[in-house]
Amino acid sequence: MMTRTQSKKKMASFDCLSETLSVHPSNSQIFVEVQAQGNTLERALDILAEVDMKPVRQKIIKGDTSTCILMLLPNEDMNEAVFRLTEAGFTKVKGINAESHYPGKGSTFRISPTGE
Protein backbone atom coordinates (compact mmCIF):
# COMPACT_ATOMS: atom_id res chain seq x y z
CA MET A 1 0.00 0.00 0.00
CA MET A 2 1.27 3.45 -0.91
CA THR A 3 1.70 5.98 1.87
CA ARG A 4 0.44 9.56 1.55
CA THR A 5 4.04 10.80 1.21
CA GLN A 6 4.78 8.34 -1.60
CA SER A 7 1.55 9.34 -3.35
CA LYS A 8 2.47 13.04 -3.18
CA LYS A 9 5.95 12.32 -4.57
CA LYS A 10 4.41 10.36 -7.43
CA MET A 11 1.93 13.14 -8.12
CA ALA A 12 4.70 15.73 -8.06
CA SER A 13 6.67 13.75 -10.61
CA PHE A 14 3.67 13.57 -12.99
CA ASP A 15 3.00 17.26 -12.42
CA CYS A 16 6.64 18.23 -12.97
CA LEU A 17 6.79 16.23 -16.19
CA SER A 18 3.50 17.63 -17.45
CA GLU A 19 4.61 21.21 -16.79
CA THR A 20 7.41 20.79 -19.35
CA LEU A 21 4.90 20.37 -22.21
CA SER A 22 4.35 23.15 -24.69
CA VAL A 23 1.41 23.70 -27.03
CA HIS A 24 1.74 21.91 -30.38
CA PRO A 25 0.83 24.01 -33.42
CA SER A 26 -1.55 21.52 -35.05
CA ASN A 27 -2.14 18.45 -32.84
CA SER A 28 -3.72 18.02 -29.43
CA GLN A 29 -1.65 16.26 -26.80
CA ILE A 30 -2.66 13.76 -24.15
CA PHE A 31 -0.21 13.17 -21.32
CA VAL A 32 -1.10 10.19 -19.16
CA GLU A 33 0.64 8.31 -16.37
CA VAL A 34 0.86 4.57 -17.04
CA GLN A 35 1.67 1.65 -14.76
CA ALA A 36 3.50 -1.65 -15.21
CA GLN A 37 0.19 -3.44 -14.47
CA GLY A 38 -3.42 -2.31 -14.72
CA ASN A 39 -3.37 1.11 -16.38
CA THR A 40 -0.72 0.22 -18.95
CA LEU A 41 0.31 1.87 -22.19
CA GLU A 42 -1.33 -0.96 -24.11
CA ARG A 43 -4.59 -0.49 -22.21
CA ALA A 44 -4.60 3.26 -22.90
CA LEU A 45 -4.09 2.63 -26.61
CA ASP A 46 -6.81 -0.05 -26.62
CA ILE A 47 -9.29 2.34 -24.96
CA LEU A 48 -8.62 4.97 -27.60
CA ALA A 49 -8.79 2.39 -30.42
CA GLU A 50 -12.28 1.33 -29.23
CA VAL A 51 -13.55 4.76 -30.32
CA ASP A 52 -11.39 4.93 -33.48
CA MET A 53 -8.77 7.29 -32.03
CA LYS A 54 -5.26 6.58 -33.15
CA PRO A 55 -2.36 8.72 -31.94
CA VAL A 56 -0.47 10.48 -34.70
CA ARG A 57 2.66 9.96 -32.61
CA GLN A 58 3.49 8.73 -29.12
CA LYS A 59 6.48 9.00 -26.82
CA ILE A 60 7.26 7.37 -23.48
CA ILE A 61 8.63 9.77 -20.87
CA LYS A 62 10.14 8.37 -17.68
CA GLY A 63 10.47 10.42 -14.52
CA ASP A 64 11.90 9.50 -11.14
CA THR A 65 8.70 7.82 -9.96
CA SER A 66 6.34 8.05 -12.95
CA THR A 67 6.23 6.62 -16.42
CA CYS A 68 4.05 8.62 -18.76
CA ILE A 69 3.09 8.58 -22.38
CA LEU A 70 2.68 11.66 -24.51
CA MET A 71 0.34 11.14 -27.44
CA LEU A 72 -0.33 13.54 -30.29
CA LEU A 73 -3.92 13.28 -31.53
CA PRO A 74 -5.95 14.97 -34.23
CA ASN A 75 -7.15 18.17 -32.59
CA GLU A 76 -10.83 17.25 -32.34
CA ASP A 77 -10.07 14.08 -30.34
CA MET A 78 -8.54 15.61 -27.18
CA ASN A 79 -11.64 16.05 -24.99
CA GLU A 80 -13.05 12.65 -25.90
CA ALA A 81 -9.68 10.96 -25.26
CA VAL A 82 -9.33 12.57 -21.81
CA PHE A 83 -12.90 11.57 -20.96
CA ARG A 84 -12.43 7.94 -22.10
CA LEU A 85 -9.15 7.49 -20.25
CA THR A 86 -10.40 8.95 -16.97
CA GLU A 87 -13.64 6.97 -17.26
CA ALA A 88 -11.48 3.84 -17.59
CA GLY A 89 -9.58 4.61 -14.37
CA PHE A 90 -6.54 6.56 -15.49
CA THR A 91 -6.31 9.21 -12.77
CA LYS A 92 -3.36 11.28 -13.98
CA VAL A 93 -4.28 12.71 -17.38
CA LYS A 94 -3.59 16.08 -18.94
CA GLY A 95 -4.93 17.20 -22.30
CA ILE A 96 -3.68 20.21 -24.22
CA ASN A 97 -5.47 21.57 -27.29
CA ALA A 98 -3.42 22.49 -30.32
CA GLU A 99 -2.61 26.14 -30.83
CA SER A 100 -4.72 26.06 -34.01
CA HIS A 101 -7.77 25.07 -31.94
CA TYR A 102 -7.74 28.46 -30.23
CA PRO A 103 -5.66 30.74 -32.45
CA GLY A 104 -3.27 32.78 -30.36
CA LYS A 105 -4.00 30.88 -27.16
CA GLY A 106 -2.90 27.56 -25.70
CA SER A 107 -5.82 25.93 -23.91
CA THR A 108 -5.20 23.38 -21.20
CA PHE A 109 -7.83 20.98 -19.91
CA ARG A 110 -6.65 19.06 -16.90
CA ILE A 111 -8.07 16.18 -14.94
CA SER A 112 -5.89 14.93 -12.13
CA PRO A 113 -8.02 13.93 -9.12
CA THR A 114 -6.08 13.52 -5.92
CA GLY A 115 -8.88 12.54 -3.60
CA GLU A 116 -8.04 15.42 -1.27
CA dihedral 68, 40, 97, 19 (to 10 degrees): -20
* % of the chain residues with pLDDT over 70: 76
Q: State the pLDDT at residue 90.
A: 94
- Tell me the domains of the chain and their CATH numbers: 12-111 (3.30.70.260)
State mean pLDDT over 4-19.
Answer: 58
> Given a cut of 50, is residue 57 above it in pLDDT?
yes
Spell out the residues 6+ positions from residue 14 whose beta carbon is closer than 8 angstroms to its own: 33, 63, 66, 68, 92, 112
At 49, give phi and psi (nearest 5°).
-65, -30
Find the radius of gyration of the CA atoms of the chain.
Answer: 14
What's the CA gap between 101 and 38, in Å, rounded?
33
The CA distances from residue 103 to 53, 97, 106, 110, in Å, are: 24, 11, 8, 19
Q: State the pLDDT at residue 3.
A: 40
Tens digits of residue pLDDT in 21-48: 888 888 899 999 998 888 999 999 999 9
> Given a cut of 80, is residue 112 above it in pLDDT?
no
